[in-house]
Structure 1
Amino acid sequence: MLMNLFGSGRESMSAVDTAWLRMDRPTNLMVITGMMFFEGEIDFERLRVVMEQRLLKHARFKQKVVRTGTNAAWEDDPDFDIANHLHRVALPGKAGKPELETMVNDLISVPMDFSKPVWQFYVVENYQGGSVLVARIHHCIADGIALIQVLLGLTDKEEEPHQKAAPKKSKFLADEREPDDPFMRLYRPVAKMYAGVLKSYGKLLGTSYGLMANPGKLAEYTQTGLGLGQGIARLAAMPADPRTKFKGKLSTVKRIAWSESLPLPEVKHVGKALGCSINDVLLSCVAGALRGYLIERGQQVDGLTIRASVPVNLRPESKLDKLGNYFGLVFLPLPIGVANPIERVYEVKRRMEEIKGGYDAIITLGLLSVVGSLPNMIEQPAIEYFSTKSTAVMTNVPGPREPIYLAGAKVHDLQFWVPQSGEIGMGVSILSYNDRVNFGVMTDKKLVPDPSRIIEGFGAEFEKLVLATLLSVLDCPPDPEMAELHLAVLRMQSAS
C-alpha cells in the first residue's frame, strides 16, 4: 500500500499511473477497449454474479479517481453500484459486424465519467446468434499484461467448473508459452534484462557505501550508467517521424476495425521456414499492410520508415497479478519501403535485434515516473515531444492458448484496441487466443476514415508471405509480383 497522502480512505496513485491518467485528452482518450465473442448467448445474471465475486475482489474496480493539485488518488466509491458499470444492449438491424462496429465506434470517443470507477462493460445480446462483451477500462487502472490477469481471473477452463474448492489465483506465466511466441520473444527476455538494469542502476544511485565496499562492481555500474546516458541522448536527438497519411492534426473521433483471425500454426511454420520468430512475421505483415494503404492513397513509399511505439513489459513476476502500469516503450522502425515480403521479414528481425540491446524501455518508464510526479504543465510538453517520434502505438498481447469460458459461455474469440497518446493517431493491436492471431486497428477519423482497408491488408500480406516462402523453398526468386499473381489465381479459383 502506498503512503496515504490524502487523508483517511484514500490511496495515493503511483506516479506512472498518474502520468497515464493525465494523458487523457479529447483527441486521445486513455481507454483500453476489448471485446469477447461467445459461441452462444451468455447468461447476464450469471455474469453479474461472476463479476461481483471475481472482478470486484480487486479494490480498484470499486474506487474512483480523485485529483488534488498535481496528485491523484484512489478513493472508495460510497455509491458504487455494479449496475452503473455492467449494461445489456442490443444491436439494431441485422445485428451483424457493421452494426457492432458502429456501436464500438460510438463508444470509443466517449470520455469516462470520473465521478465513478473508470470502467464499463456492455453485453451485446443479439450478435450473430450469440453474445459479445465489450469492455472499456481506463489505462490508469492497469496495463495490458495486468488486464490479461483480470480476464483469466473471470474465466474458467471448462463450462461448469467445480465449485467446492476455492478458485486458485490466476497467474499467467511466460514459461507456459512456447519459446517462439511473441510474448517469449519480445516481452519476457527484455523485461528480465531491464529489471536487472533497473536494479543495478538503483544501486548506483543509492548505495555509494556498497560501491566502496565492493570496488569491483564499479565498472559494471558505470557501464550501466553510460548506457542509460547514451540512450537518453539518442532519444532526445531522435528526429520526428515523417509526415504521412497516418500523421497529422487529430480530431475527437476515432474509428476501429478488426480482422478475421490467422491460424497461429501457419504463422509458426512460415517463421520456422525463414528462421524468424512469430513476432517478426506478424510485424512484417503489419508493415506490409500499412505500405499497401499508403500506396493506394498515392503516397511515395520507396525507402520510407515510420516508427511504432512498442510497449515492453517490465513487470516483475512477483507483480504479474497486480494492477497498475509496469512497462516502458521502445521505438521500432517499420520498413514500409521494403516491397519484397521475405526481405521485409528479415529487415524487421534485424531492427528488432537492434532495439533489444538498448535502454529505451527503462528510460521511458523512468520518464513517466518523473513526469507523473510533476505538474501537468510539465508532463504535457514531454508527452507531445515524444509522440512526434512515432506514428503508431503497436502492442502484442498473448492470450490463453486453450479455450476459456465466462459464466458458462465458451469464448469464441478475443479482440482489443490500444489507446494512443499525444499526437499519435493510430494504434495496432495483436492478440493471440486458442491458436489464432487477431489484429485490431484504431485510427483518427480525420486521418484514416477507413481502417478496415488496413485490416484487409494484414491477411493479404500474410498470404503473399506464405506464397513467397513456398517459392523460396523451391529455390525460386521471391518475386512479390509472382506472389501477387499466385494470390490472384488462388482467389479466382476459390471464387469460381
Structure 2
Amino acid sequence: PTLRRDDSNKMDIHRRVPVVFRPHLELSEPQNCTELEHVADYSDVYNTLVYVLCAVIIVLHIKHHSTVGSTFLFGVIASTLGLALTPLLLVICGLFTLYRMFVKKRLQKVPGYMGMMDGSDAYWATEQIYARSIINILLMVDFSKLAKEGLKPIEVMRETMKRVVEKASFKLKCKKRLSKFGYYYMEKCNIVMNENVRHIEPELRGKSDLEKFASEIANEPIIGDSLWEVLVGREEVCGSYPVFIRVHHSLGDGYALVRLFLDHMSDKETRVHKFVRADSVIQRLVNGEYNKKAVQVTSSILNRIFTYIYTSIVLAEQLLAPPDRNSLHNRIYLSGKKVCRFMEIDLELLKEVRRSLNVRFTDVLLTALSNSLEGCFVKWGETVEHMRVVIPARLPVPSEGLTNLFTVAMLELPITGKDKMKKIQVSQEKLKKLPDYYVNYWLLRVAFTIFPATFISKYIVSTQSTLSISNVPGPKEYIKIRGSRVTDMAFFLPNRDTTGVGISFLSYADRFSIGISVDDSLLSCPSQADEILEGIVQSIGQMHSSHVRNPSKTE
C-alpha cells in the first residue's frame, strides 16, 4: 500500500536522522515510503549512547584527571578555550586598566595619599576578620647587660624602631585604606612610638605563657590601623626578654620582613652579609643566571608566552580539584581564635640528615611533617592518605626594601604508605617543571593589580589545601640589638580562606625553630597542636638515628 499525500499522513523523515544533521537536509517528500516504514529507528539509541559516553568521559576525567591521556585531553580543551577567550579578556583587562587609572587620579587628591597597593600587597590587604594577614615574629633578646646599666628594654626598642621607620621604608609610616572604588591604597599616618612600641601586659613566666600570649594576639588587629607594632616583655623569660614584632603581610613577604627588620634593627657588624642567600624555586627553574642578554630576553619572552597558554589549564585544574577531607580542613569559616606553639632543635641535626640522605632541606622537613601527621591522624581515629600543602617560593627579582615577591603552588603530600621521602622528592621535582608557580604569580601580580581587590577576592578563594608551609632562612650568625644578643627567634604564619594550619620553619645561627599556628575550631583540644609539633621533631630525630652514622660538629 502507498501513503496518501494529504497533510494528516505526511511522513516526517527528519525524525529518522540524528538532530545534529537536520539543518543540512533538503529532501523532497517521498512518493513511496514503503521501504522507510520497515527501516529500524536507531536515532534515540544513538543519541543516548553519545550522551552516556560524554557523561562517562567527564566523570572519569574529574575522578582520574591525573592520568596521562585525560590530562592531555583536558589541557588541550582548557588551553583552546583560554586562547579563544583571549580577545574578550584583553578588552576586559583594558577597561579595568583605564578604570584603575581613573581611580588613581581621584585618590591622588585624598589627603595623605601615598600610593595604590598592587599585586601581592593588594592580595594580602584583602582579609577576613577570622583570618587577618598578620605575621607574628618572636625574638628572645638578652637585655640583661643594659638592664644592669639602668636602661629599660622598652626604651631601647623604641629608639631602635624609630631608626627603622626613618631609614627602612615609607610603608612603615602608612596604614592601608579601602577606597570606595574597590582598590586598596596607602595613607600616611602619624606613628606614636609609645603606642606602636609598648609593653606586654600579662606577666609571662615561661614558654607556655609565651605560647598562650602568642595565641591570644595572633589574629588581633594592629593598633590604630597601623601596619606594624612591637610588644616588649617587662621581665625575662628563660633568660631573655620576649619581643613580639607584628607586621601586616601587605608590607612584604616573610623573608623580606625578617631581613629588613633585623638588618635595620641589628648592630652594624651583624647586618646583610650574615644572611643566608635564598635561591628560590623559580631560580632553579630557569637554571640560575644567564650570561648572554639575548638568551635572557628570549627566555623571558618564551616563558611569558607558555605561561599564558598554560594559565587556563592550571586555573581549571585548581578550580576542579576537590578539597581535602580531614579534621584539619573541615570548616567553611574559621573561628579566628588561634593556637600557637613553637619548638627549637639543633640546626646541625638537620644538616647531618640532609647530607646523609643527599636530599634537600625541604625533603627532610616535609617527610618529618608527613610522619607526624600520619601518627596524629591514627591517634585521632582517622585515615588520611594525602593532603594538599601550599608551598611558597620567592621570585629571583632584585628588590630592596619591603615588598611581596612570592608565588605559590600546591603540593600533594603523602601521609600514608612507604618511601615517602622518594615520593616527596618526585613531587617537588615535578612541581618545579610545572607552570603553576608562574601562573599563580601572574594571577597575584597582574589580576590583583588591574581588578578591584574587593571584586576579585570573592572569586579567588583557596578551599583545597589543608595547610601552608613557609621555610625562611635567617641570619647565619647571632645578631645583636644595642649590644644585646638575640638568642632565639620564631614566627607564626597567618591563616587564609579555609586553610587554618600554618607551619613555619626558620633557621637562625645554629638553631632551627618550628612554629605552628592552628585555628582553634579545627582542634578538639589545644594539645593536638603540640602533638603535631612534637611529631615533627621526633621524626627528625628518628631519621638522624637511622641514617647518620658518624655525626659531625661542623658542616
- The reply to whether TM is greater than 0.5 is yes
1:282 to 348, 360, 365: 365
State the shift of 1:51 in Å.
1.5
* Equivalence for 1:329: 408
- Which whole-Å deviations, capped at 9, do the CAs of 1:329-358 have from their partners, x for residues lacking one? 0111111113x5xx2222221111110112
Out of 421, 428, 432, the residue aligned to residue 356 of structure 1 is 432
Structure-2 change in CA distance of 1:225 and 1:373 (3 Å): closer
Offset from partner CA, 1:218-251 (integer Å, 9 cap, x none): xx76545444444334333333223334442421
Aligned to 1:446, what secondary structure does the other structure show? helix
Partner residue, 1:211: none
Instruction: Give the deviation of 1:157 after TM superposition.
Output: 5.6
Q: Does 1:76 align with 2:188?
A: yes
Q: Secondary structure at the match of 2:250?
A: coil
What letter matches 2:532 in structure 1?
I
User: Match for residue 67 of structure 1?
Assistant: 178
The question of whether the paired residues in 2 share the 8 Å contact of 1:185 and 1:277 is answered with no
Q: Does 1:89 find its partner at 2:184?
A: no
CA distance 1:191–1:109, shift in 2 (3 Å): farther
Residues 1:272 and 2:355 are matched in the alignment: yes
* Change in CA separation of 1:89 and 1:381 when aligned onto 2, cut-off 3 Å: closer
Q: Which residue, 140, 165, 168 being the options, matches 1:37?
A: 140
Identity %: 23
- Give, in angstroms, the shift of residue 400 of structure 1: 0.3
Decide whether the 8 Å contact of 2:280 with 2:394 is kept in 1. no
Describe the superposition over 1:248-301 as per-residue Cα deviations: whole angstroms up to 9, x where unpaired: 242121110001x22222212212221211221112111222222211111113
Aligned to 1:252: 336
SS at match of 1:256: strand
- State how far apart, in whole Å, the 2-side matches of 1:142 and 1:391 are: 24
In the TM superposition, 1:25-174 aligns within 5 A as 25-41=128-144, 43-57=153-167, 58-69=169-180, 70-77=182-189, 79-89=190-200, 91-92=202-203, 95-113=205-223, 115-126=224-235, 127-156=237-266, 171=272
Cα distance in 2 for residues equivalent to 1:49 and 1:221: 46
| Structure 1 residue 75, shift from structure 2 partner | 1.6
> More helix per residue: 1 or 2?
2
- In the superposition, the TM-score normalised over structure 2's length comes to 0.70
The answer (yes or no) to whether the contact 2:501–2:518 under 8 Å persists in 1 is yes
Matched, 1:365 2:365: no
CA offsets 1:104-127 (integer angstroms, 9 cap, x no match): 1111131234x4422111011322
Q: CA deviation at 1:173?
A: 9.0
Question: Post-superposition shift, 1:373?
Answer: 3.7
Q: Which one-letter code corresponds to 2:341 in the other structure?
A: A
CA shift for structure 1 position 323: 1.4
CA contact under 8 A between 1:394 and 1:428: conserved in structure 2? Answer: yes
Does the alignment pair 1:378 with 2:436? Answer: no
Distance, in Å, in 2 between the alignment partners of 1:358 and 1:119 is: 36
Partner of 1:305 in structure 2? 386
* CA displacement at 1:191 relative to structure 2: 8.1
Letter in 1 for 2:438: I
Residue equivalent to 2:108: 7
Counterpart AA for 2:177: V
* Aligned residue number for residue 21 of structure 1: 125
Alpha-carbon contact 1:36-1:415 (below 8 Å) kept: yes
Deviating more after overlay: 144-153 vs 226-235: 226-235
The answer as to whether partners of 1:191 and 1:315 remain within 8 angstroms in 2 is no
- Kept after mapping to 2: 8 A contact 1:34/1:416: yes
Residue type at the aligned position of 2:530: S
SS of corresponding position for 2:439: helix
| Structure 1 residue 467, shift from structure 2 partner | 2.6
In structure 1, the residue matched to 2:542 is 464
Computed over aligned residues only, the root mean square deviation of the Cα atoms, in angstroms, reads 3.0
Distance across 1 between alignment mates of 2:421 and 2:177 = 46
One-letter identity of the residue aligned with 2:163: Q
Give the match's secondary structure for 1:37: strand
State the shift of 1:143 in Å: 0.9
* 8 Å Cα contact 1:12/1:73 also seen in 2: yes
How far apart are residue 172 of structure 1 and its match?
Answer: 6.5
CA separation of 1:129/1:172 partners in 2, compared to 1, >3 Å: closer, same or farther?
closer
Q: Find the counterpart in structure 2 of residue 482 from structure 1.
A: none
Structure number with bigger Rg: 2
Deviates further, 121-130 or 427-436: 121-130
Structure 1 match to 2:33: none
Q: 1:375 and 1:185, CA in 2 relative to 1: closer, same or farther beyond 3 A?
A: closer
Change (3 A) 1:184 1:18: closer
Q: Which amino acid aligns with 2:138?
A: M
1:252 maps to a residue whose letter is: G
**Contact conserved, 2:135 with 2:492, CA < 8 A, in 1?**
yes
Shift of 1:140: 1.0
